[in-house]
C-alpha cells in the first residue's frame, strides 16, 4: 500500500538553529501537506502544497513540493522553544482520495 517515510525520526537542536526535515513516497501525490501536533492536541495544518516545484512559506516555515511528486521538505528557520512537537507530512493523490500520513519527525528545541 501507499507509504510515506519521514527523516529524521527525531532531532534535538539548539534554539536559533535552522531545521530541515523531509518526506518521501514510493507513489506520486498531487497534494502534500505538513502538519504539527502538540502534546494533547490534534494535528494543525502548517502548509499545503498543490503543484510540483511549488515553494511556499508560512512565517519561519518553508515547504517545497518535489519535482518528482514523490517528496517534500519542510524547513524551519531560527527555531524557538514553541517549535517543539511532532511534524507530520501527508500526501493525497486527488482531492477526493484519503490523506496518508507519514510516521512523523519529533522536534526538540533546547533553549
Partner 1 sequence: SAVISQKPSRDICQRGTSLTIQCQVDSQVTMMFWYRQQPGQSLTLIATANQGSEATYESGFVIDKFPISRPNLTFSTLTVSNMSPEDSSIYLCSARDRGSGANVLTFGAGSRLTVL
- The helix/strand/coil state of 98 is coil
Q: How many residues touch partner 1 (CB under 8 A)?
A: 20
Q: Is position 5 an interface residue for partner 1 (rule: CB under 8 A)?
A: no
Q: Is position 53 an interface residue for partner 1 (rule: CB under 8 A)?
A: no
| DSSP for residue 81 | G
By CB under 8 A, which span of 18-26, 38-46, 59-67, 69-77 interacts with partner 1? Answer: 38-46
Residue 109: Cβ-neighbour burial (10 angstroms; 0-12, 13-18, 19+): buried
Q: Is position 104 an interface residue for partner 1 (rule: CB under 8 A)?
A: yes
Does residue 28 contact residue 70 with C-beta atoms inside 8 Å? Answer: yes
By CB under 8 A, which span of 15-23, 43-51, 68-76, 77-85 interacts with partner 1? Answer: 43-51
Amino acid at each position: 500500500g501507499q507509504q510515506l517515510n519521514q527523516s529524521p525520526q527525531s532531532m534535538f537542536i539548539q534554539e536559533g538553529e535552522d531545521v530541515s526535515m523531509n518526506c518521501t513516497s514510493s507513489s506520486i501525490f498531487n497534494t502534500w501537506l505538513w502538519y504539527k501536533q502538540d502534546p494533547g492536541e490534534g494535528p494543525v495544518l502548517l502548509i499545503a502544497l498543490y503543484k510540483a516545484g511549488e515553494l511556499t512559506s508560512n512565517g519561519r516555515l518553508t515547504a517545497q513540493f518535489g519535482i518528482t511528486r514523490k517528496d517534500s521538505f519542510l524547513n524551519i528557520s531560527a527555531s524557538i522553544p514553541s517549535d517543539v512537537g511532532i511534524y507530520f507530512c501527508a500526501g493525497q493523490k486527488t482531492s477526493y482520495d484519503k490523506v496518508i500520513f507519514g510516521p512523523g519527525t519529533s522536534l526538540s528545541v533546547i533553549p
